[in-house]
Structure 1
Amino acid sequence: MDTTEFHGYRVHWVHGQSSPQLRSQIVAFWREQNALSDAHEAWRRTFEVACIAVDQAGRIAGVSSVYSAQHQALGAPYWFYRNFIDPEHRVNGLAQRMVRHTVERLAGAFAGEAGAPLGVIIVSENAKLDAPAGQRQLNRLGFVRLGADQAGRSVWQRRFAVPADGEAQA
């Protein structure tokens, strides 16, 4: 399992590798946190999970997920990124580590393939990301603000870099 560490948390890349047991743990996490109340929707989204953050006791502390879709305004496919971190585990930098790990793995696994998503889109539901400090965080992660969607949420884009030799880089 591809893992990175951050202040006592382990962030595991699990995209396309989830077992029934892991899916069950993720569904329970989302439901206990009231992040997703519909059991079927929670189960369906487990197949979109990219990374999980696990605390020192081995409990899920956070989950990132991605789904591929056409970005209408850009006219191209992108990975759309979402995450949820248990409020008790919202330590400074954990969300950024999860974003970075997800983007790097997606770029390494899929970028440059014909028809593959060109990068990652974040549609922000967190008002903190609209503050100057939040915007700086996303800029440091390589995202640029495209504007706002119809609901007024900030939309951020990061394209994958594909050098001349065709091998993708985050």
Structure 2
Amino acid sequence: MALFYFKAFHIVGAVAWFAGLFYLVRIFVYHVEADQKPEHLRQPFKEQFGLMEWRVYKIICNPAMMLTWTCGLIMTFLNPSYWQMGWFQAKFSLLILLTVYHIWCKRIIIKLEKGEKPFDSFQFRLLNELPTLFLLSIVLLAVLRDMLNFLYAFGGVLVFGVLLFVFAKAYRKRREG
């Protein structure tokens, strides 16, 4: 019975973590677009977006990531056979990469705070789609487990990523056109 409670909180943590990451990178977009505002508005906008970035990162992303990892690891201790399953090993690898992405976002906040622009707004928009690919992959692995052919799944996620890129380019062209 305890396993189901940890699974429920693991899912809640993952949903909050992804929501935070989606919102955080969207704020990055607005932060770099603040340079297009009139001179007297630029600094106040950048300060506000910087404050929002830190709040989202510290108040939403970090606790949600910790809840996801804690409950997930507890589930593996309650059911150690997960570690021998291919789908779980792939999911665990993706979670490590997602955590690297999470930490990388913190570095971006620091760079933006220093006035550096690591990416333009379009590149940040593309970066904002990366969690979508993680989410799709992780959910497919968790739900379909051994029924999933990893090669086809990887190909499908790759095609989905290319489609996201094409739609982002089309949206950019439409906005600028």
TM-score by length of 1: 0.26
Q: Which has the higher strand share?
A: 1
Q: Which structure has greater helix proportion?
A: 2
TM-score, with structure 2 as normaliser: 0.25
| Higher Cα Rg, which structure | 2
